[in-house]
Amino acid sequence: MKDLKLSVGDLPVLELKGKIAAAGAQLCSSGHMTGWLTLPSDYDKDEFERIKRTVSKIRANSEVFIVIGIGGSYLGARAVIEALKPNFYNNLSKAERTSPEIYFAGQNVNGSYLSDLIKVIGDKDFSINVISKSGTTTEPAISFRIFRNILEKKYGKEGAKERIFVTTDRENGALKKMSEKIFAILSNIGGRYSVFSAVGLLPIAVADIDIDQLMAGAASGQADYDKDDFENNQAYIYASARNYLYSQGKKIELLVNYEPKLHYLAEWWKQLFGESEGKEGKGIFPAAADFTTDLHSMGQYIQEGERELFETVLFVEESSSDISIPKDAENDDDLNYIAGKSLDFVNEKARIATSKAHQAGGVPNISIGIPRLDAFHVGQLIYFFEKSCAISAYTLGVNPFDQPGVEAYKNNMFALLGKPGYEDNQEVASD
C-alpha cells in the first residue's frame, strides 16, 4: 500500500534537526502518558475481540447507536466514522446501510440539540456508548442521565443495562455500576491520543469499519515514524516544518481539506494540537477550513489579511466515486469548456490553483497526500498526527499530555451552577 505523501516545499527543515531529534528522544524516554506510542502493535487482543463480539449484538438489536462523550472521548471516533462512511449515511434507507444510524451527544449542553436528537430516535430501538474516564464530566454526564432515563422507561432497568455500553476507568470510574459491559480507558493514554483504544474502536466498529485495517495502518505509521533517520521520518519533518514557520512569526496553522468527509478529522486535529501545545504562552493556533467552500468566506483573508498563518493541505489522491460534468447545448452557464471532465479533476485543479495563489500571497503551504480514504490510510494519518504533535510540543518546551487550562471554565461554571464544594468562588457565583 502507498504511504502518506508529505511535502514541505523548500522550507529549511534541517535547521531544527537537532531540536526535533532531542524531542523525539524525550518522548521515547518520558514514559508518562505515552501508552499510545506502541498501542497499534501492542494492544489488548482479548478486549479487541470482545469489542467485535459486542458490536455484533449492538448491530443486531439497535437501529440507532448514540455515542456520548466530549473532546477526545468522541472526536477521534467521529473523525474516522465521518471519513469512511458515505456522506449522509444516516439518511440512507435501512436496506442501504450496513450498521445502525450513528449520532453523537454529550459534546454540548444545548437543549435544542438533545431535543431534536430524541425526536430523530423516536420509537426506534437504540443503544448508547457513554465514554468518560471519571463518569462525572458535566456535558456527557447530563446527556447520559437523559438517555439512560429514556432507555429505562422504554426497556426497564434491566433491559436498559443491556443497551448501555460504558467506556471508562476500570478502577475508579463512576460509571462502572451502570452496566456490566465495561471497556477500558487506559490510564497511560490521554483522551486526544485514544483513538486506537476502546474509546474509538467500539463506535468505529459499530459503524462497520474494519478496525483490523485501521490498526494495521496505525502500526505501519508506528514503524515508519519511529525511525531515527530524520530525512525519512515524515512525522519529524512535519514537526520541524511547523516549528520553523512558528519561529518566523507564523502563529496560526490552517488545516485545509478538499474532501468534506475530512471535516471532523480536522476537528479532532484541532483538539490534538490545541490541547497539546497551547500552554505557557506558547503554541501554534490550530484552525481549519473546508475548501473550496471556505474560499468563499475566508479566502479573502487568507490571501491578503495578516501574514501570520500557514496552511497544511490534506488531499485524497484516489476518490471512491466521481461524477462527470455533462455537456449542455445552450451553455448558458458557460461550463462547456469543462464538459466531460470529472468533479475530482476540477477539485484537484482548484487545490493546485489555490496553493499557488496563497503561497504567492505569503502563506506557506505544507501538503499531505492521502492515497485513498480507507481504514488503513486513515489509521496511518491519525498516528502520523499523534507522533508529530507530541514531538512538536516537546520542541516548543511544553508537556504534550496535560491540559491545565481546561479547568478554569469548569470551576467558574460549577460556581455559577451552585455545585457543592465551589462556594468559595463568590465573585463568579454572584454574577
Compute the average pLDDT of residues 47-58: 96
Percent of the chain with pLDDT over 70: 98
**pLDDT for the residue numbered 415:** 79
CA 212/CA 201 separation, integer angstroms: 10
Using pLDDT thresholds of 50, 70 and 90, give the confidence band for residue 359.
very high
| 56 inside domain | yes
- Regarding pTM above 0.75, the answer is yes
Return the residue matching grid coordinates 495578516.
Answer: 306
Query: pLDDT (tens digit, 9 = 90+) per residue, 57-81?
Result: 999 999 999 999 999 999 999 999 9
For residue 348, give the nearest of 322, 380, 366 by alpha carbon. Answer: 322
Same domain assignment for residues 78 and 95: yes
- In the numeric block, which cell numbers belong to residue 70? 466530549
Same domain assignment for residues 221 and 121: no
| 159 inside domain | yes
| 278 inside domain | yes
For residue 324, give the nearest of 339, 303, 314 by alpha carbon. Answer: 339
pLDDT of 221 strictly over 70: yes
The residue from 157, 282, 356, 410 that is catalytic is: 410
pLDDT of 10 strictly over 70: yes
The residue from 45, 94, 296, 306 that is catalytic is: 296
**pLDDT for the residue numbered 47:** 95
Task: Tell me how many degrees the CA angle 323-327-332 measures, rounded to the nearest 5.
Answer: 115
Q: Give one DSSP letter per residue of 361-372, joined into a string.
A: TT--EEEEEEEE
Same domain assignment for residues 334 and 262: yes
**pLDDT for the residue numbered 227:** 87
Return the residue matching grid coordinates 438489536.
Answer: 61
Same domain assignment for residues 258 and 292: yes
Same domain assignment for residues 12 and 50: no
Say whether 275 is catalytic.
yes
Compute the average pLDDT of residues 214-231: 95
Instruction: Choose between 147 and 406: higher pLDDT.
Output: 147
CA 294/CA 354 separation, integer angstroms: 12
Same domain assignment for residues 68 and 186: yes
Strand partners, 126: 64
Same domain assignment for residues 26 and 91: no
Same domain assignment for residues 26 and 60: no
- In the numeric block, which cell numbers belong to residue 268? 479532532
pLDDT of 91 strictly over 60: yes
| 185 inside domain | yes
**pLDDT for the residue numbered 159:** 94
Return the residue matching grid coordinates 436528537.
Answer: 117
Q: How far is CA 163 from the centre of its chain?
A: 26
**pLDDT for the residue numbered 173:** 66
| 424 inside domain | no
Same domain assignment for residues 195 and 249: no
Across the chain, mean pLDDT equals 94
Q: What is the CA radius of gyration of the chain?
A: 23
Its domain, for residue 377, covers 5-30+214-399
Using pLDDT thresholds of 50, 70 and 90, give the confidence band for residue 179.
confident
| Torsion angle (degrees, nearest 10) of CA 166, 170, 176, 180 | 70
Query: pLDDT (tens digit, 9 = 90+) per residue, 393-426?
Result: 999 999 999 988 877 787 888 877 778 877 776 5
**pLDDT for the residue numbered 133:** 87
What is the number of structural domains in the chain? 2
Say whether 296 is catalytic.
yes
Same domain assignment for residues 366 and 291: yes
pLDDT of 320 strictly over 60: yes
| 429 inside domain | no
| 419 inside domain | no
The SS3 assignment for 135 reads coil
Compute the average pLDDT of residues 26-37: 92
Q: Which of 185, 209, 233 is the last residue before a domain boundary?
A: 209
Same domain assignment for residues 271 and 309: yes
Backbone angles phi, psi at 381, to 5 degrees: -65, -45
The residue from 101, 267, 275, 277 that is catalytic is: 275
User: What's the CATH number where 74 sits?
Assistant: 3.40.50.10490
Query: pLDDT (tens digit, 9 = 90+) per residue, 203-217?
Result: 999 999 999 999 999
pLDDT of 27 strictly over 70: yes
Same domain assignment for residues 285 and 193: no
Q: Which of 165, 181, 209 is the last residue before a domain boundary?
A: 209
- Most distant CA pair in the chain, distance: 75
| 426 inside domain | no
